[in-house]
Chains A and B, each alone.
Chain A
Amino acid sequence: MMLAAGDGAGASIFLELGIVIVGLALLARIAIRTGFSPIPLYLLAGLVFGAVRDTSFSQDFIEVGGQIGVILLLFMLGLEYSASELSSTLRSGFRAGVLDALLNFTPGLLAGLVIGWGWLPALLLGGVTYISSSGVIAKVITDLGRLGNRETPAILSILVIEDLVMAFYLPLIAVLLVGGGLLAGLSSVAIAVAAAGVALVVALRFGGIMSRAIFHRSDEVLLLSTLGIVLLVAGAAEELRVSAAVGAFLVGIALSGQVAERAETLVMPLRDFFAATFFVFFGLQIDIGELPGVLPAAAAIAAFTAATKIWTGVWAARRIGVALRGRWRAGTALIARGEFSIVIAGLGVAAGLDAELGALAAGYVLILAVFGPLATRYSDGLVDTVRLRLAVPP
């Protein structure tokens, strides 16, 4: 099909995709030059592209690519943490995790209800405001040379727990989105959560065996085996109504040791490509005309949940004996929301929920993915200024 000479449709697909990808490359350049996360730029690109051009040709590709992007995002998220790290962090950071959930999930949930959306979109908005962007935050911490800082373990353990919560939250949402009566819904939720729990335990117990079975010294074999398994499990999970993303996440957790390290380097470029596709796809689905209308609400929720994240980080850092400046570095670092907020909102949009949810989530992430890194970069200076004004001892 693609090789057919003079095939107009084929040529147009390449042209369209080429324009999109060259555009993304330029945006990524700008993002790196200015030290920002490219995620809000990709979103904007999707929004603008959707507004100016009817993407009839590449729509299918971008849609499937976007879904693969979600799967790979979650897979790499699971890959990042070993099973032992997950269980030890769960023990040490449990209280900070609970506070994080209370302070950051509740505002989104309530805002959704106040807007008058009903429970389901409100639950999704809670997820959007709850989950910090581990991608953006990890990059900011590295870029600012804060990896060795004493507050950093507090930040990382909150991120780990958020990711674990996702393992239960996503299947729950997936089941609720499929619908059905309340009772039927509740029983499928129970099944989904139990399935995620069992899979997690299996991953923790037998991950080593699985990793050894997959390992191969050829990069090619390893890449294909990993991708194949991730897609298979994701597909199976989707069949069982446990969200493809969760399946991929669990495969990521199950893989460990040498396989995990190599798979991480091998899958990373694919993840970057498909994740960018996903952000564009998400932007495409949103009517740019809706954005100005929801922006005030998005800004208000963003301001409030930035404050609650700061509170969470300050509390968690104080608990491990970090002083004032470090506490604020931790708090401000956690503000950034990004890829996973969009993943959650994307699930709702794909299920045909209230169109406002997508636009609101986009606006919200646009604001916080930019503001979060900025806030943490200048937090030391701000804390010092305020401290001098108020003459607070360090």
Chain B
Amino acid sequence: MTEVEETPLPGVGVRHDFSTKSGSRVGVVSHRTGCRELMLYSEDDPDACETTLRLEEEDVRVLADLLGAAHVTESLAKHIQHEIEGLAMSWLRVSPDSPCAGATLAEIGLRTHTGISVVAVIRDGATTPSPGAEFVLAGEDTAVVVGTTEGIRRATELFQPPLDR
């Protein structure tokens, strides 16, 4: 598990940094104004940044989408971000080809089949918190779900296209 370090920057915001698998140190400064700075630490001087990329809120969303989309499709079952004693929380993307796209939460019957709950649905950057049973899922939605690890694995499969690929 990659360890992310958090450092408060009084008057500015907060800095998070971590080491990549290949050993580069990457940092993100989150300004209180909402903009972010993505930085790569220098190899000769590990305390200094070699490259700094300033990202406005809009850019952040685009970059997060690009990285997040790939992440969700690639790491299916591994995609469990937080685990609290048997309880897991995850962000699942609904594939447009999934049978769930266009169905209400009641029709999908997630809780009866997998035991997990949908806490929120993110669509086009807007969040619907605690969607009701009549909420219709669409392709490209991201469902924030809570449940057992096993339940989330099964939900992940449900949100994918049927098993022909």
The CA-CA distance from A237 to B52 in the complex, in Å, is: 44
Contact assessment for A148 and B45 in the assembled complex, using a CB-CB cutoff below 8 Å = no
Most buried by B among A85, A134, A380: A85
Given known contacts A261-B32, A261-B33, is B11 in contact with A150 (CB within 8 Å)? Answer: no
Interchain nearest-CB distance for A393 vs B (Å)? 13
Main secondary structure of the interface of B (DSSP, over half): strand
> Does A346 reach chain B (CB closer than 8 Å)?
no
Interchain nearest-CB distance for B11 vs A (Å)? 4
Q: Which of A86, A145, A156 contacts B49 (CB 8 A)?
A: A145
Contact assessment for B9 and A151 in the assembled complex, using a CB-CB cutoff below 8 Å = no
Given known contacts A261-B32, A261-B33, is B10 in contact with A149 (CB within 8 Å)? Answer: no
Interface members, chain A 52-71 (any B CB < 8 Å): none
Interchain nearest-CB distance for A143 vs B (Å)? 11
The CA-CA distance from A148 to B27 in the complex, in Å, is: 7
Contact assessment for A325 and B47 in the assembled complex, using a CB-CB cutoff below 8 Å = yes
The CA-CA distance from A25 to B47 in the complex, in Å, is: 37
Contact assessment for A153 and B9 in the assembled complex, using a CB-CB cutoff below 8 Å = yes
- Which residues of the other chain, B, contact A322 by a CB distance below 8 angstroms? 47
The CA-CA distance from A35 to B9 in the complex, in Å, is: 24
Given known contacts A325-B47, A325-B48, A326-B48, is B37 in contact with A148 (CB within 8 Å)? Answer: yes
- Which residues of the other chain, A, contact B11 by a CB distance below 8 angstroms? 80-81, 85, 134, 138, 156, 159-160
- Which residues of the other chain, B, contact A134 by a CB distance below 8 angstroms? 11
Summed over the interface, the residue pairs from A and B with CB atoms below 8 Å come to a total of 70
> Does A89 reach chain B (CB closer than 8 Å)?
yes
Contact assessment for B10 and A160 in the assembled complex, using a CB-CB cutoff below 8 Å = yes
Most buried by B among A148, A150, A151, A326: A148
Contact assessment for B33 and A148 in the assembled complex, using a CB-CB cutoff below 8 Å = no
Contact assessment for B10 and A147 in the assembled complex, using a CB-CB cutoff below 8 Å = no
> Does B101 reach chain A (CB closer than 8 Å)?
no
- Which residues of the other chain, B, contact A81 by a CB distance below 8 angstroms? 10-11
Residue of A nearest to B34 (CB): A261
> Does B68 reach chain A (CB closer than 8 Å)?
no
The CA-CA distance from A326 to B11 in the complex, in Å, is: 20
Q: Which of A86, A138, A146, A156 contacts B48 (CB 8 A)?
A: A146
- Which residues of the other chain, A, contact B10 by a CB distance below 8 angstroms? 81, 85-86, 89, 153, 156-157, 159-160
Most buried by A among B12, B29, B32, B48: B48
Contact assessment for B8 and A149 in the assembled complex, using a CB-CB cutoff below 8 Å = no
Residue of A nearest to B26 (CB): A148
- Which residues of the other chain, B, contact A88 by a CB distance below 8 angstroms? 8
Contact assessment for B12 and A156 in the assembled complex, using a CB-CB cutoff below 8 Å = yes
The CA-CA distance from A147 to B9 in the complex, in Å, is: 9
**Chain B, interface residues (CB within 8 Å), range:** 20 to 34
- Which residues of the other chain, A, contact B29 by a CB distance below 8 angstroms? 147-148
Contact assessment for A156 and B32 in the assembled complex, using a CB-CB cutoff below 8 Å = no
> Does B127 reach chain A (CB closer than 8 Å)?
no
Q: Which of B27, B32, B39, B46 contacts A323 (CB 8 A)?
A: B46
The CA-CA distance from A134 to B32 in the complex, in Å, is: 17
- Which residues of the other chain, B, contact A153 by a CB distance below 8 angstroms? 7-10, 15
Interchain nearest-CB distance for A159 vs B (Å)? 7
The CA-CA distance from A156 to B52 in the complex, in Å, is: 19
- Which residues of the other chain, B, contact A325 by a CB distance below 8 angstroms? 45, 47-48
> Does A329 reach chain B (CB closer than 8 Å)?
yes
> Does A305 reach chain B (CB closer than 8 Å)?
no
Interchain nearest-CB distance for A359 vs B (Å)? 32
The CA-CA distance from A85 to B131 in the complex, in Å, is: 36
Contact assessment for B8 and A150 in the assembled complex, using a CB-CB cutoff below 8 Å = no
The CA-CA distance from A84 to B98 in the complex, in Å, is: 46
- Which residues of the other chain, A, contact B7 by a CB distance below 8 angstroms? 153
- Which residues of the other chain, A, contact B47 by a CB distance below 8 angstroms? 149-151, 322-323, 325-326, 329
Residue of A nearest to B33 (CB): A261
- Which residues of the other chain, B, contact A150 by a CB distance below 8 angstroms? 46-48
Contact assessment for A148 and B8 in the assembled complex, using a CB-CB cutoff below 8 Å = no
- Which residues of the other chain, B, contact A148 by a CB distance below 8 angstroms? 15, 17, 27, 29, 37, 39, 41, 49, 52
The CA-CA distance from A147 to B15 in the complex, in Å, is: 9
Interface members, chain B 1-36 (any A CB < 8 Å): 7-12, 15, 17, 27, 29, 32-33
Interchain nearest-CB distance for B45 vs A (Å)? 5
> Does A341 reach chain B (CB closer than 8 Å)?
no
> Does A152 reach chain B (CB closer than 8 Å)?
yes
Q: Which residues of A contact B (CB under 8 A)?
A: 80-81, 85-86, 88-89, 134, 138, 145-153, 156-157, 159-160, 261, 322-323, 325-326, 329, 380
- Please name 10 pairs of A and B residues whose Cβ atoms are closer than 8 Å in the assembled complex, sorted by A: A134-B11, A145-B49, A146-B48, A147-B37, A147-B52, A148-B17, A149-B47, A159-B10, A261-B33, A325-B48
The 9 closest A-B pairs by CB, nearest first: A326-B47, A150-B47, A148-B39, A85-B10, A145-B52, A80-B11, A148-B27, A148-B49, A160-B10
Interface contacts beyond A85-B8, A148-B27, A323-B45: sample of 13 additional A-B pairs, CB < 8 Å, sorted by A: A81-B11, A85-B10, A88-B8, A145-B39, A147-B37, A148-B15, A148-B17, A148-B29, A148-B39, A148-B49, A153-B10, A160-B10, A323-B46
